[in-house]
């Protein structure tokens, strides 16, 4: 994929490659080997060399090549033997790296270590077969979890690559004499390419024609100043990177136009070589990645610390063997690690990418969307972002009169008397002719025959397209171009095209009025705010004529063009501009601006003398050495520059010779264009305001136009005072321009409209005071001023999102916390500098992205709160075992069943949770204080919900043991007595209470039911036979074999069932299957109680999952049906729990038992309590906020409940 090195950012809110220092970049550029010496050759020689290397026959001459370029066959042959124009992909190695990374995250490493310790324990005690199986389970679990995270991350990466394919970089090439726009990756060596300002250079290119062409090579060399390029061969030992006739892959065209042929592509380019040298650079960390890293380290530190403490206490204090102590330590680590968290994070980010894709938003760095959720200030362009970018000419000002302009052929045909007068007005004809000739746009060939309003245009901007559509619809233009020799027309005719309506009239007009010196054009630039061309206007009427005479034609910001004029064209006569005309012009601009119209002016100047004659300066057809353009300073024809610096002089009536002899222009009139707001923008602005986000308009338009649109979309809501939405200079811009004086006009105590000239003289502290106002509009701003606004807002602590589409917007896009480039109208460099690309150019997409960013953070908090709450009921059994020698109510394998079984899908399902209804009414998150995991969240999960869950588990455990004969009072200091075979406290020898008997072993292969064990004198004796030996019979009383009787207890117990004596009667019949089996069998009863403890965690997690759906709102408000995945999660965790309880193979594998149905109920009151507790807590939170709002408490003031429980 075609790409270039991204410019470095001075802040770390985005995951971009770190900046390479300027010296390093220059050094790298000099070190790489360049496989050609094209820069030291003349253009044709260099071309021959390139084609010869690719086995192609060179053209007869450079001129022939410049007219035709390569043929399609030649391009196909070169591509077949060459490679695509893209840097080598590391997809293969990246896949393996992703897999390795997801298997070796810190949580994963903890579990890998835990698995290894299990195998070590088994090696120390081969009879501990259950520890061996635990090691296998841990290894499988961590591998499958890593595999799932890998799959999600890899799928997300592929989704993002697919999104990027929606905006593939394009380049204009000339093949077989026709211009074509192709994907940059399809460019081949020898291709003739055309560049203009705003394009990324598609490959290392040898320049053969250049008009004021400059490139920004800062991404290559680190030099900040744009480099001028020309076609001259470089002599001497100049290095390729310093050659003025080479444009390099991935750099940016910032000024002018150029033609050249491709020399090297892809990895062979200088940028490709540098990329291979710098491929080891790592990306900086995004905020969400940093938050997760901190959380992982925090939980890991807790897990490791508790695991070590438990191991030491178990081994050193209680005297347990090393194997048992290791198992306990591993259990603590496993209980603390939320194994499914990273999978939840990956799923959340992937879902966000897909949701935003449907909303036409491309997130270049996926994790950056969370930063977007923290946005506090949006600096938005107007045109195309807040508006539809469908400019239509709606009015014009000619002959000192304002007229409405129809927008379609039907409108002209059925128009008013005013429209019919315009069609025959020579001044209006000159106006629209200049608007078409001084214009970069053109209709696409595919739209021939379509209605004018439905035609698409290429090149140019929205204003250019509007002028083309306006002129194309004018019937008088059609008649003039199809009437041969009509003297009444001011244009020469052409024969009617055989296809009739399939003629592009504006293209025919350009053929009749050619621009013979394209290299002398002055392209539009925000620094001078107009564009100029040299064109021939065919005949004389209206003062803009003169057969075959060269004219300067100018189009640009209305007041800028007006300031360069000394005369105005009124009904065919050039009249000196006086104070009355100036005041009238000012009034018209303000009136049109107040209607939300952008105003652009046109002017001309005749260069005296026929085109064919020589001469010089303004008085001849051609200047010595030819006409030059590029910029107003470089142009050698009159553009009103000298007049601009002088005071306007002139009397009423026709302009005098002295006035015309200067370089001043003649003002023809202006055109008013309307770009209606997008339908969804007003509601999006309201949503942003309710979310505590300041929306600032930053536009190059006139203040009155900006204020009108701002009022329509809701950025300005209150009334504006006199001069607040007008004044400050007439007209409207074509880009980012400004020309007004004065102080900021305040529209009330919390509103201001500030123009570019005002901003230029405004100190930083005053700008910050302006940004503190509620409603702010910046009009007539320059790109450098936009950057200053962004930096000022960031210095005030704002998290700034800024929109932009032009080359000059790139600094602002880079500097902002979130740069939002336009996908339709944005230049490639703007898209590269931005973090997200709005594929529809719609402001509403930014607000959607902010909501999604907040939702990610919100849902991750909920998922973590849900996951951590089960840690306490998982840890507490081990603590009770160490402190009170309490039987383990939960084994390590059952903990894994919870973390990676019953809890996994519910935790992930919270990623699908819909936003709470107050999500966009909350103030933006303070990234410095509101972290992903706070002590309040830990308190909520561990000390509130976690404690309730631990009590539920302990209660269920004790209830089950009590029902089977062992009440709570019998449990302390009895952990060793509940083994499958009775051992002493250190689990080394048979307990003395069991001198004789037989049964299954306490250790070894517990799945092997054929093994039998005999006891002689309290020691284990393995015997393969079923009968007791003679020695057994002599040493043991027959009554003690298998069953030990007690006069105080009429029921049997003894060696086959364990060594702890029941103290109460079993509540279930010992003969009833399956619920009666555990009666007086301690080891079986223990497994039943442990299974009930597992069930209790699942039951209370039902309630926990429901309460974690919201952080503030009641579940009644949020509803349950909004998240069907969560309902599926509830179903699956219940189904898995049932399987663990009642499927025989699951009982065998996880050492569970089928529990009586009644034992599902002891934990249910705790689930109800958790639900009621949390609903009460949230109710108090909402009540506290309502009271604070009623009492007028300052924003940010919180009550006791919120201060200590709102996570």
pLDDT exceeds cutoff 90 at 926: no
For 882-894, what is each residue's pLDDT tens digit?
A: 888 889 898 878 8
Among 82, 362, 25, 80, residue whose Cα is nearest residue 223: 25
- Looking at residue 450, what is its pLDDT? 66
Measured distance CA(420)–CA(1138) in Å, rounded:
84
331 and 880 Cβ atoms separated by less than 8 Å:
no
* CA 731 and chain centroid, separation: 37
Maximum mean pLDDT: which of 324-333, 543-552, 691-700: 691-700
In the predicted model, what is the mean pLDDT of residues 88-103? 66
Top pLDDT among 949 and 125 is at 949
Q: Is the dihedral of CA 770, 771, 773, 774 positive or negative?
A: positive
472 and 464 Cβ atoms separated by less than 8 Å:
no
pLDDT exceeds cutoff 70 at 541: no
The count of residues in the chain is 1207
For 967-1022, what is each residue's pLDDT tens digit?
A: 898 888 887 777 655 555 554 555 555 555 554 444 443 333 344 455 555 555 55
Strand pairing class (751-755; 745-746): antiparallel
What is the 8-class DSSP label of residue 1160?
A: G
In the predicted model, what is the mean pLDDT of residues 325-346? 73
pLDDT exceeds cutoff 80 at 729: no
Q: Is the dihedral of CA 575, 578, 584, 589 positive or negative?
A: positive
Among 1106, 1087, 1105, 1094, residue whose Cα is nearest residue 1138: 1094
Top pLDDT among 757 and 453 is at 757
What b/e string do you get for 488-499 counting C-beta neighbours within 10 Å, with b at 16 or more?
ebbbbebeeeee
Measured distance CA(278)–CA(25) in Å, rounded:
10
Top pLDDT among 222 and 1193 is at 1193
What's the token pair of residue 525? 């630039």
- Looking at residue 831, what is its pLDDT? 75
Model confidence at 620, pLDDT cuts 50, 70, 90, reads: very low
pLDDT exceeds cutoff 80 at 611: no
The answer for 651, left when phi > 0, alpha when psi is -120 to 50, beta otherwise, is beta
Model confidence at 22, pLDDT cuts 50, 70, 90, reads: very low
One DSSP character per residue, 988-1003 reads SSB-TT--EEEE--SS
In the predicted model, what is the mean pLDDT of residues 208-213? 83
In the predicted model, what is the mean pLDDT of residues 1061-1079? 68
Model confidence at 583, pLDDT cuts 50, 70, 90, reads: very high
Among 889, 1148, 891, residue whose Cα is nearest residue 134: 891
pTM of structure: 0.66
For 810-844, what is each residue's pLDDT tens digit?
A: 778 888 888 888 877 676 667 777 888 888 778 88
Measured distance CA(816)–CA(9) in Å, rounded:
9
For residue 204, the SS3 value is strand
Among 964, 875, 992, 819, residue whose Cα is nearest residue 331: 875
- Looking at the DSSP bridge assignments, the partners of residue 666 are 567, 604
For 500-510, what is each residue's pLDDT tens digit?
A: 445 566 777 77
In the predicted model, what is the mean pLDDT of residues 395-420? 77
Q: Catalytic site residues?
A: 381
What b/e string do you get for 688-723 counting C-beta neighbours within 10 Å, with b at 16 or more?
bbebebbbbbbbbbbbbbbbbbbbbbbbbeeebeee
Half-sphere exposure of 946 (CA within 13 A, CB side): 22
Q: How far is CA 175 from CA 210, 260, 378, 910, in A?
A: 19, 13, 44, 54
Model confidence at 225, pLDDT cuts 50, 70, 90, reads: low
- Looking at residue 36, what is its pLDDT? 54
For 297-321, what is each residue's pLDDT tens digit?
A: 787 788 788 888 888 877 776 666 6
Measured distance CA(225)–CA(168) in Å, rounded:
28
CB atoms within 10 A of CB 363: 23
pLDDT exceeds cutoff 70 at 85: yes
340 and 867 Cβ atoms separated by less than 8 Å:
yes
514 and 493 Cβ atoms separated by less than 8 Å:
no
Measured distance CA(36)–CA(49) in Å, rounded:
9
Measured distance CA(122)–CA(133) in Å, rounded:
9
Which position has the token pair 């040298």? 277
Helix/strand/coil percentages in the chain, nearest 5: 45, 15, 40
**Which of 245-249, 400-404, 490-494, 1144-1148 has the least mean pLDDT?**
490-494
- Looking at residue 814, what is its pLDDT? 80
Burial class of 813 by CB neighbour count within 10 A (0 to 12, 13 to 18, 19+): buried
What is the 8-class DSSP label of residue 618?
A: G
Measured distance CA(754)–CA(448) in Å, rounded:
44
- Looking at residue 851, what is its pLDDT? 86
What is the 8-class DSSP label of residue 499?
A: T
- The answer to whether the bond into 605 is cis (omega within 30° of 0) is no
Strand pairing class (775-779; 694-698): parallel
For 745-782, what is each residue's pLDDT tens digit?
A: 444 447 888 988 888 889 989 999 999 988 899 988 87
For 643-662, what is each residue's pLDDT tens digit?
A: 887 755 443 433 333 344 47
81 and 54 Cβ atoms separated by less than 8 Å:
yes
* CA 792 and chain centroid, separation: 23
Cα-trace Rg, the chain: 40
């Amino acid at each position: 994929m075609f790409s270039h090195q991204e410019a470095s950012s001075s802040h770390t809110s985005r995951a971009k490659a770190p900046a390479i220092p300027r010296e390093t970049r220059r050094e790298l550029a000099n070190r790489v080997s360049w496989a050609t010496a094209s820069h030291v050759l003349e253009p044709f020689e260099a071309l021959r060399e390139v084609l010869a290397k690719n086995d192609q026959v060179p053209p007869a001459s450079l001129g022939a090549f410049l007219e035709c370029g390569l043929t399609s066959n030649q391009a196909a042959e070169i591509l077949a033997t060459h490679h695509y124009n893209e840097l080598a992909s590391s997809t293969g190695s990246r896949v393996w790296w992703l897999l390795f990374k997801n298997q070796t995250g810190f949580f994963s490493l903890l579990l890998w270590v835990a698995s290894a310790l299990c195998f070590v324990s088994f090696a120390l005690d081969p009879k501990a077969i259950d520890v061996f199986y635990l090691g296998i389970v841990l290894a499988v679990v961590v591998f499958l979890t890593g595999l799932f995270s890998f799959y999600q991350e890899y799928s997300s990466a592929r989704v993002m690559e697919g999104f990027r394919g929606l905006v593939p970089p394009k380049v204009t090439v000339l093949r077989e004499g026709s211009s074509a726009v192709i994907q940059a990756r399809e460019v081949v060596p020898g291709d003739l390419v055309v560049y203009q300002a705003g394009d990324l250079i598609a490959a290392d290119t040898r320049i053969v024609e250049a008009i004021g062409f400059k490139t920004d090579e800062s991404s290559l060399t680190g030099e900040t100043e744009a480099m001028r390029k020309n076609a001259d061969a470089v002599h001497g030992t100049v290095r390729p990177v310093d050659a003025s006739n080479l444009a390099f892959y991935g750099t940016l065209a910032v000024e002018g136009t150029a033609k050249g042929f491709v020399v090297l592509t892809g990895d062979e380019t200088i940028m490709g070589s540098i990329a291979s040298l710098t491929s080891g650079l790592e990306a900086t960390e995004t905020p969400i990645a940093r938050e997760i890293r901190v959380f992982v380290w925090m939980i890991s530190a807790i897990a490791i610390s508790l695991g070590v403490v438990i191991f030491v206490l178990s081994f050193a204090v209680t005297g347990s063997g090393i194997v048992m102590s290791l198992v306990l330590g591993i259990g603590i680590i496993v209980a603390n690690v939320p194994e499914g968290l990273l999978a939840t994070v990956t799923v959340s980010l992937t879902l966000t990418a897909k949701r935003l894709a449907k909303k036409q938003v491309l997130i270049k760095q996926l994790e950056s969307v969370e930063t977007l959720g923290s946005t506090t200030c949006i600096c938005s362009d107007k045109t195309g972002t807040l508006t539809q970018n469908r400019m239509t000419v709606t009015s014009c000002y000619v002959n000192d009169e304002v007229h409405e302009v129809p927008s379609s052929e039907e409108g002209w045909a059925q128009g008013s008397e005013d429209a019919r007068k315009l069609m025959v007005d020579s001044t209006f004809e000159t106006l629209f002719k200049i608007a078409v000739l001084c214009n970069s746009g053109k209709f696409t060939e595919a739209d021939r025959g379509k209605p004018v309003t439905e035609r698409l245009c290429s090149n140019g901007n929205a204003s250019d397209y509007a002028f083309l559509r306006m002129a194309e619809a004018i019937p008088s233009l059609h008649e003039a171009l199809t009437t041969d020799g009509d003297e009444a027309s001011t244009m020469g005719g052409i024969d009617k095209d055989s296809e009739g309506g399939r003629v592009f009239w504006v293209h025919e007009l350009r053929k009749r009025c050619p621009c013979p010196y394209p290299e002398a054009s002055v392209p539009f630039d925000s620094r001078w705010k107009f564009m100029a061309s040299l064109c021939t206007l065919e005949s004389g009427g209206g003062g803009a004529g003169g057969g075959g005479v060269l004219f300067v034609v100018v189009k640009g910001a209305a007041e800028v063009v007006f300031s360069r004029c000394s005369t105005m064209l009124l009904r065919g006569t050039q009249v000196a501009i006086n104070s009355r005309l100036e005041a009238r012009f000012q009034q018209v601009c303000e009136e049109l601006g107040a209607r939300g119209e952008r105003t652009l002016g046109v002017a001309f100047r005749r260069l005296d003398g026929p085109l064919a004659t020589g001469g010089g300066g303004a008085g001849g057809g051609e200047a010595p050495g030819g006409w030059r353009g590029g910029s107003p300073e470089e142009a050698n024809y009159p553009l009103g520059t000298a007049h601009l610096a002088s005071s306007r002089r002139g009397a009423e009536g026709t302009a005098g010779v002295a006035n015309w002899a200067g370089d001043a222009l003649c003002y023809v009139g202006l055109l008013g264009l309307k770009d209606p707001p997008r339908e969804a923008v007003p509601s999006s602005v309201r949503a942003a305001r309710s979310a505590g986000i300041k929306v600032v308009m930053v536009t190059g338009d006139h203040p009155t136009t900006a204020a009108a649109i701002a009022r329509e979309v809701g950025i300005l809501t209150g009334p504006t005072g006199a001069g607040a939405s007008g004044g400050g200079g007439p007209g409207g811009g074509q880009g980012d321009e400004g020309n007004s004086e004065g102080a900021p006009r305040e529209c009330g105590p919390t509103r201001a409209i500030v123009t570019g000239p005002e901003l230029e003289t405004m100190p930083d502290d005053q700008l910050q005071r302006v940004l503190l106002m509620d409603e702010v509009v910046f009009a007539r701003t320059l790109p450098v001023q936009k950057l200053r606004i962004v930096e000022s807002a960031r210095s005030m602590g704002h998290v700034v999102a800024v929109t932009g589409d032009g080359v000059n917007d790139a600094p602002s896009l880079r500097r902002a916390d979130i740069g939002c480039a336009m996908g339709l109208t944005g230049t490639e460099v703007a898209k590269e500098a931005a973090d997200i690309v709005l594929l529809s150019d719609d402001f509403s997409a930014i607000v959607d992205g902010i909501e999604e960013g907040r939702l990610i953070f919100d849902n991750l908090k909920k998922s973590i709160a849900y996951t951590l709450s089960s840690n306490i009921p998982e840890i507490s059994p081990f603590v009770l075992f160490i402190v009170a020698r309490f039987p383990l109510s939960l084994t390590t394998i059952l903990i894994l069943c919870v973390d990676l079984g019953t809890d996994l899908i519910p935790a992930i399902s919270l990623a699908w949770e819909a936003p709470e209804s107050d999500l966009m009414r909350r103030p933006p998150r303070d990234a410095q204080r509101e972290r992903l995991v706070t002590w309040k969240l830990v308190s909520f999960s561990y000390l509130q919900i976690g404690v309730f869950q631990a009590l539920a588990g302990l209660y269920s455990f004790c209830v089950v043991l009590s029902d089977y004969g062992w009440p709570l009072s019998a449990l302390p200091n009895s952990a060793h007595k509940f083994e499958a075979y009775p051992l002493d406290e250190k689990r080394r020898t048979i307990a003395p209470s069991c001198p004789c008997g037989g049964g299954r072993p306490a250790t070894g292969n517990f799945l092997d039911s054929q093994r039998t064990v005999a006891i002689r004198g309290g020691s284990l004796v393995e015997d393969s036979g079923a009968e007791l030996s003679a020695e057994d019979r002599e040493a043991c009383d027959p009554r003690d074999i298998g069953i030990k009787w007690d006069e105080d207890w009429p029921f049997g117990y003894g060696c086959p069932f364990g060594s702890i004596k029941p103290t109460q009667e079993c509540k279930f019949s010992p003969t009833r299957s399956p619920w009666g089996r555990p009666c007086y069998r301690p080891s079986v009863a223990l497994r039943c109680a442990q299974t009930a403890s597992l069930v209790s965690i699942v039951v209370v997690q039902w309630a926990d999952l429901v309460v974690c759906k919201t952080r503030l709102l009641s579940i009644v408000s949020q509803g349950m049906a909004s998240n069907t995945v969560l309902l599926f999660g509830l179903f699956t965790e219940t189904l898995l729990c049932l399987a663990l309880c009642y499927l025989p193979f699951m009982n065998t594998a996880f050492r569970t038992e089928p529990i009586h149905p009644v034992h599902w109920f002891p934990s249910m009151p705790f689930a109800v309590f958790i639900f009621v507790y949390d609903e009460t807590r949230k109710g108090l939170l909402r009540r506290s906020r309502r009271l604070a709002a009623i009492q007028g408490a300052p924003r940010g003031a919180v009550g006791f409940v919120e201060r200590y429980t709102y996570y």
